[in-house]
Chains A and B, each alone.
Chain A
């Protein structure tokens, strides 16, 4: 069972523990949390800022991650990679503190708890995949025997055991991703930071990777995944941190973030036999700001304050005995929310 709880302290405070209002379609995520994790956070950002000369990479970020999967999304140059590098101790913040299990992320001891899968594709081309992972295992401080055992296990987990003796030079992009992933998980870290882990992996491989991420999350690991593959990310997790211009624009479940956007009415598609009647009743609700009927059996409702709207809607359906055939929020996707938050289409 996984538990994912994130706290964003800043101008707005949000603690996400609430159950879902509507279950999103085709979600692979684990069931909602049943207990509150009182342990110290795996990863903690405290008012962290990082500049590159005059350019600010991350700006006053405060973030707290415990076990579970968190997606990190944002446009190019938003500061995602900087955030990941700060989390893995490769960059030192100029202000604030980044800690892993209470130890400064910059300290080598903190890195024992961190696995990092960077987005670079080229590494030691003349080395075999197995040799590369083994070297990384030795870097972690294991003796030869244990390093060998962990190498084999990690290769098995990413499905590369039978192909690991080939030189990296001959690997496809997907195979390189798997090898990178193997070196990230081989020391069984509590925090696994993955930068574009699904890039270049074929659909079957993606499914395998998603299963693996889910399995790691179910082992109480904390996964921070930066990805432009929003659809895949949505299958994995409901918890996202959205970055914009070095700041965390929003953090929490997609639904909760969506609810916070009161200025942007949510769009809901309702299929039923009597859309006109339902529309007539809904128009009286103060939360409904627009109605549309694209076909005889479909009603599109634009509503602000979704939580209140769904309460009213549920009551109406019960009282008037409407047979709802389909109920689907149309702009609850990460794309749409990103579009609202960052402007444009939400493409990252």
Chain B
């Protein structure tokens, strides 16, 4: 045996034959998603935004509770209730509050409750996804980490699936999961029969969540692959979702053009798709008038197909030879 310590060390080390079963590339998908989640969770900004989204959840949570509680406390008597004390005290009519909570804000455990809740969560979600896009995908391109992934026994589709899975976790963490919690809560504070009477809402919430997960992750992945850096990513992503809404509002509500112009508003398109899953009639949806459901499905479906084609071409770690 060699006297050189390095040689000794190297000689002693060797790979022993491994008799285990290698997992397929799907385990790689999970590994990519896990790493991606870790990258996001260690950022304070993410937790701050997640806190904001939790505030919306708490608003709905206590709104539903208050609505049910007040309804249960009213016994047909009418009158006013004085809340607070001193100069800050306000006098409210319980009927008005119940009206505001259940009819205006729709905090009544109905399909509208969950559709509206997810609509409001969308404001925070869009910002979180902007951050996620640049951190999870953009960095892989700008830092050149893609070859590490693509040299391992996974295909580029597995790589994309891993990233989509991570994005899907964020989407569901801020939309589907709290919406399901609201469903559970309403059943507890109202009546147990709510669970089976409104079970179709669970399916609708899950369907809405699935739509958001699939479409947003694909669109975000394509945007992040295209833009890579955080600032351009924020600018374009927010422009698409905010500017699109302003333009759609201007054309439909201001110029009174066809409701189909509202399809420019991508978040509204997703809202329409979710509403179709939850069984909300088109006529009752706000802002109105809305384009038919199928048009929203077509626009988002077409956009996702385009993004997939772009991704297929892009995620190849192509070296440009000048």
Residues of A within 8 A of B144 (CB): 118, 120, 122-123
Q: Which of A108, A124, A143 contacts B158 (CB 8 A)?
A: A108
- State whether A77 and B143 are in contact (beta carbons under 8 Å apart), knowing that A183-B148, A208-B6 are contacts in the complex: no
> How many Å lie between the Cα of A82 and that of B319 in the bound state?
7
A123 to B25, CA, bound (A): 22
**Contact among A55, A126, A211 with B39 in the assembled complex (CB-CB below 8 Å):** A126
Q: Assess whether B318 is interfacial by the CB under 8 Å rule.
A: yes
Give the docked Cα–Cα distance between A120 and B143 (Å).
8
Contacts of B24 in A (CB 8 A): 141
Task: Establish whether residues A85 and B317, one from each chain, have CB atoms under 8 Å apart when the complex forms.
Answer: yes
A89: Cβ under 8 A from any B Cβ: yes
Chain B residues, Cβ within 8 Å of A140: 22, 28, 152-153
> Which residues 48-71 in A have Cβ within 8 Å of B in the complex?
52, 55, 57
A192 CB, min distance to chain B CBs, angstroms: 11
A167 to chain B, nearest CB (A): 11
B143 interface neighbour in A109, A116, A123, Cβ under 8 Å: A123
Cβ of B169 to closest chain A Cβ, rounded Å: 17
Contact with B along A78-111 (1 / 0, CB 8 A): 0101100100111110000000000000011101
Q: How far is the CB of A329 from chain B (nearest CB, A)?
A: 31
Q: Which of A85, A120, A157 contacts B13 (CB 8 A)?
A: A157
A52–B145 touching, CB < 8 Å: no
Q: Does B91 contact A (CB under 8 A)?
A: no
Whether B20 and A88, one on each chain, are in contact in the complex, defined by CB atoms closer than 8 angstroms, is no
Complex Cα spacing A139 to B36, Å: 13
In the complex, residue of chain A having the shortest beta-carbon distance to the beta carbon of B9: A156
A116 to B20, CA, bound (A): 23
**At the interface, yes or no: B212 with Cβ under 8 Å from chain A?**
no
Report whether A52 and B321 are in contact in the complex, using a CB–CB cutoff of 8 Å.
yes
**Complex contacts, B149 vs chain A, CB 8 Å:** 139
A135 with B158, Cβ < 8 A, contacts A120-B145, A143-B23 known: no
Decide if B42 is an interface residue (CB 8 Å cutoff). yes
Asked if A109 meets B153 with Cβ closer than 8 Å, knowing A126-B42, A156-B13, A157-B13, the reply is yes
Counting CB contacts under 8 A, is B15 at the interface?
Answer: yes
A57-B321 in contact (CB<8A): yes
The CA of A91 and the CA of B10, in the complex, are separated in Å by 34
- Evaluate contact between B147 and A116: CB separation under 8 angstroms: yes
> What's the least CB distance linking A152 to chain B, in Å?
10
Does chain A have a CB within 8 A of B151? yes
Q: Are A81 and B319 in contact (CB under 8 A)?
A: yes
CB nearest to B162 among chain A residues: A139
Bound: A219/B15 CA distance, A: 11
CA distance A108 to B26 in the complex (A): 11
Contact of B145 (CB < 8 Å), options: A89, A124, A141, A150: A124
In angstroms, Cα B34 to Cα A304, docked, is: 62
Bound Cα distance A108, B156 (Å): 9
For residue A292, CB closer than 8 A to chain B, the reply is no
Given A112-B22, A141-B22, also A90-B28 (CB < 8 A): no
- A123 (CB) vs chain B CBs: closest residue: B145
A52-B318, A55-B321, A90-B317 known; A139+B154 contact, CB < 8 A: yes
- Given A90-B151, A140-B152, A157 contacting B10 (CB threshold 8 A): yes
Q: Please, how many angstroms separate the alpha-carbon atoms of A219 and B10 in the complex?
A: 12
Across the two chains, which residue of chain B brings its CB closest to A77?
B321
Report Cα–Cα, A125/B143, bound state, in Å. 10
> B18 at the A/B interface (Cβ < 8 Å)?
yes
Whether A77 contacts B6 in the complex (CB less than 8 A), given A136-B148, A141-B23, A141-B24, comes out as no
Q: Flag if A211 contacts B10 (CB, 8 Å).
A: yes
0 or 1 for each of B27-45: is its CB under 8 Å from A? (1 = yes): 1101110110001001000
Query: Are B25 and A141 in touch, CB under 8 angstroms?
Result: yes
Q: Answer whether residue A276 sits at the interface, using C-beta atoms and an 8 A cutoff.
A: no
- What CA separation (Å) do A138 and B151 show in the bound complex? 13
B316 interface contact, C-beta 8 A: yes
A114 close to B (CB within 8 Å): yes
CA distance A138 to B30 in the complex (A): 9
Q: Which 9 pairs across A and B sit closest by C-beta, in order of nearness?
A: A116-B151, A120-B144, A138-B31, A141-B23, A139-B152, A118-B147, A141-B22, A111-B153, A139-B28
Known: A122-B143, A126-B39. 7 other contacts (CB 8 A): A55-B322, A85-B319, A91-B319, A116-B148, A138-B28, A153-B13, A157-B13
5 pairs across A/B with beta carbons < 8 Å? A90-B147, A111-B151, A111-B152, A111-B153, A126-B42
